[in-house]
């Protein structure tokens, strides 16, 4: 990272006021975005400590703007830890199911709406080699700094595919040889007892509501995690991580 920077101190400075645009914050989210050539980056704000943290990072020609921590905090909602860095970016270019190159494992989120959960699922997906995360374009959140922070860099790794029709996307992947496992706490079959497939899709339902009827009907098999009856269900991001671990073991 270049040692050159612009100095901006004080809340009244127009160049550091909250502006329209997508802001990522936190070490992992910012570095991953800078290292992703497909991500268009616009501005970089750092504290002195944040600038030192990015010294070995290629900032792609951006000149860091040195600011106080409270300026960066304006771009990190709910007092989230920002580690002294904030990066203004543009959303990634859209990706379709047909853009995937010989995928083997995908995950479908059926109207999961919490950006924290989607970010956490992206992180697990990256850890277990998921080729894409498929969501409904109208019933899922847009890319946000919150999602990127929860994903801890995985938003730049796992393609997030937004589709107009989840069932249709599943049909397209079935034509490529995919078998879909729908996660349902009321299913009779445990995930650990399912056969292995060359191409697998894991389908997770919305928080609290589970899979919609049409989505469940598109699954080849409904399966459950073997949790104790004292707990009705797990958070969708926790369930996704366990399911992916089970499939990878």
Per-residue pLDDT tens over the stretch 42-79: 999 999 999 999 999 999 999 899 999 999 998 887 67
Cα–Cα dist 203/211, whole Å:
8
- Superfamily of segment(s) 97-248: SPOUT methyltransferase, trefoil knot domain (3.40.1280.10)
Q: Where exactly are the structural domains of the chain?
A: 5-89, 97-248
The pLDDT of residue 3? 42
Q: Domain 5-89 is of which CATH architecture?
A: 2-Layer Sandwich (3.30)
Q: How does the average pLDDT of the chain come out, rounded? A: 88
Look up the pTM and report it. Answer: 0.88
Cα–Cα dist 54/18, whole Å:
22
Q: How many CB atoms lie within 10 A of CB 76?
A: 21
The pLDDT of residue 45? 96
| Angle, alpha carbons 30-35-41 (nearest 5°) | 60
Q: Are strands 179-183 and 132-136 parallel, antiparallel or unpaired?
A: unpaired
């Amino acid at each position: 990272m270049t040692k050159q920077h612009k100095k901006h101190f004080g809340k009244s400075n127009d160049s550091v006021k909250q502006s329209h645009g997508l802001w990522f914050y936190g070490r992992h989210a910012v570095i991953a975005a800078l290292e992703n050539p497909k991500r268009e980056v616009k501005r970089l704000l750092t504290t002195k400590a944040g600038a030192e943290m990015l010294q070995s990072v290629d900032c792609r020609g951006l000149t860091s703007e040195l600011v106080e921590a409270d300026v960066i905090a304006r771009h990190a909602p709910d007092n989230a830890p920002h580690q002294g860095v904030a990066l203004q970016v543009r959303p990634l270019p859209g990706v379709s199911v047909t853009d995937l190159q010989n995928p083997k494992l995908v995950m479908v989120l059926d109207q999961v709406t919490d950006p924290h959960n989607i970010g956490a699922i992206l992180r697990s997906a990256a850890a277990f080699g998921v080729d894409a995360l498929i969501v409904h374009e109208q019933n899922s959140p847009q890319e946000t700094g919150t999602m990127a922070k929860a994903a801890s860099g995985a938003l730049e790794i796992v393609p997030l595919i937004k589709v107009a029709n989840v069932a249709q996307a599943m049909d397209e992947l079935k034509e490529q040889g995919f078998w879909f496992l729908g996660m349902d706490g009321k299913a009779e079959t445990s995930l650990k007892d399912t056969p292995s497939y060359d191409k697998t899709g894991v389908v997770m339902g919305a928080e609290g509501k589970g899979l919609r009827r049409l989505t469940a009907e598109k699954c080849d098999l409904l399966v459950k995690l073997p949790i104790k009856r004292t707990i009705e269900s797990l958070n969708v991001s926790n369930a996704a991580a366990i399911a992916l671990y089970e499939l990878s073991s």
